[in-house]
Structure 1
Amino acid sequence: MSTNLDFNYLSSLAKTNPEEFERIREAEIEKLIQSAGPENEKRLRGIQFQVDAKRQVHKDSPMGACIEISKMMHESFEKMRHQLNLCLNINDPIGNTTQYVHDEHSESSSAKVLAFRS
């Protein structure tokens, strides 16, 4: 079956046939995870597990789920931005006052840069 991923179609489907909408949503997520390759599968499944958990906690409030998932994305982006700034040895170039929160999974490391032979 060819899936139409048009917003209006999916919005209508979510209202009229939520079970079919959910089936399509899950199938599209699975296709995306599979297309990302085996080296990314575990991480993507972990992220999707977290997203599904947020949706389940806020099952009676789609806006609440949206806000929580948005927070997850912002936190991830902030960690990435912080790490990039560390790599570039710069201090917060955009003046963002958000502080990076170090989590227990982060590791600090150092490396020695080796020159290639000419």
Structure 2
Amino acid sequence: MNKFNIEKSLPFSFSNTTLLTMLGLLLIAMLSMSHAHSAWFERLIPKGETYTVEAVDRDVAFVIDDFIYDARQFCYMAVGDRVVFFEGRYGIDYRATVYNLDANERCELLLRDRVEG
């Protein structure tokens, strides 16, 4: 009976340390690709299509360029974060989904009103 022994056919062998190092490097590569993907995505957004979070009230209400939006679920946005309207139109549609370019997260919002002042 002809048995094939894989250990003898490889010109090298992996130790546990080498395997863990390779897995660690793979994880770092995957995380850096996510950051690179974000930069690539930002280049696709036309100028003037990003909006800034001006005020936050307990992660449930946000002022985005003079419009008040209520979160449909908790959203973690901070003052100064840049957002893009992913679904719905800024200041027009009652329901909208924004993508936070700084936190790389989506948030579903409801348009409440325009800021008075």
* More helix per residue: 1
TM-score (norm 1): 0.30
TM-score (norm 2): 0.30
Higher relative contact order (CA 8 A, sep 6+): 2
